[in-house]
Amino acid sequence: MSTSTADRLIESTRELLWERGYTGTSPKAIQQRAGAGQGSMYHHFTGKPDLALAAIRRTAEEMRAKAEEQFAGPGNAVERVTAYLRRERDVLKGCPVGRLTQDPDVMADPLLRAPVDETLAWLRGRLAEVLAEGRERGELDAALDPQATAATVVAVLQGGYVLARAADSVQPFDQAIGGVLGLLAAYVPTARA
């Protein structure tokens, strides 16, 4: 199956944004990685910002789809959150969406920032839904605040990436995930049948 030039340009931009950030992603580097000429790039996109927006949107959509696999999967609320947090990730590269929050050029542009903000807000909201569902079913203690807990889970996940990258080791990430799951386990009622 061959991919279109537009798809190759988007995929190349996604990779470069993750590796180098917005400023470090030049149109020439995108074209070289995509095996596309300048004319092809400007035929499909008005310029680097337009292409970056398409790449960020695709990354955000992919992240949501992967997360939804675990959130809508089998098991109780804690099992689904655990499946999400423990799924395979390229930890040392960081979160492809979360890393964009550290890119001043992306954050300064409302159009580029929007899919980043929307995705992180969706993630917090979706986690809160799963946790609220678990609370309603009696899987989690009524004292659990789904919104605050979801925000904590996302913060620990994103922070875990930062710690892992700083240490050049997945160990701090795994430790952070284990820690937040331990905190969540404290809300699982002990008198379960």
**CATH number reported for the structural domain that contains residue 111 in this entry:** 1.10.357.10
Quick one: pLDDT at residue 47?
87
Residue 104 lies in a domain: yes
Distance of alpha carbon 166 from the chain centroid? 19
Read off the pTM: 0.89
Quick one: pLDDT at residue 39?
86
Residue 52 lies in a domain: no
Residue 6 lies in a domain: no
Quick one: pLDDT at residue 1?
41
Residue 12 lies in a domain: no
Residue 19 lies in a domain: no
- Transcribe the chain into DSSP letters: -PPPHHHHHHHHHHHHHHHHTTTT--HHHHHHHHT--HHHHHHH-SSHHHHHHHHHHHHHHHHHHHHHHHHTSSS-HHHHHHHHHHS---GGG--TTGGGGG-HHHHH-HHHHHHHHHHHHHHHHHHHHHHHHHHHTTSS-TT--HHHHHHHHHHHHHHHHHHHHHHTSSHHHHHHHHHHHHHHHTTS-S---
Model confidence at 41, pLDDT cuts 50, 70, 90, reads confident
Quick one: pLDDT at residue 18?
85
Model confidence at 174: pLDDT above 60: yes
Model confidence at 158: pLDDT above 90: yes
Q: State which residues form the domain around 95.
A: 58-185
Mean pLDDT of 109-133: 97
Residue 129 lies in a domain: yes
pLDDT digits (tens, 9 = 90+) for 44-78: 898 899 999 999 999 999 999 999 999 999 999 99
Residue 50 lies in a domain: no
Residue 67 lies in a domain: yes
Number of domains comprising the chain: 1
Whole-Å CA distances, 150 to 19, 129, 166:
28, 9, 24
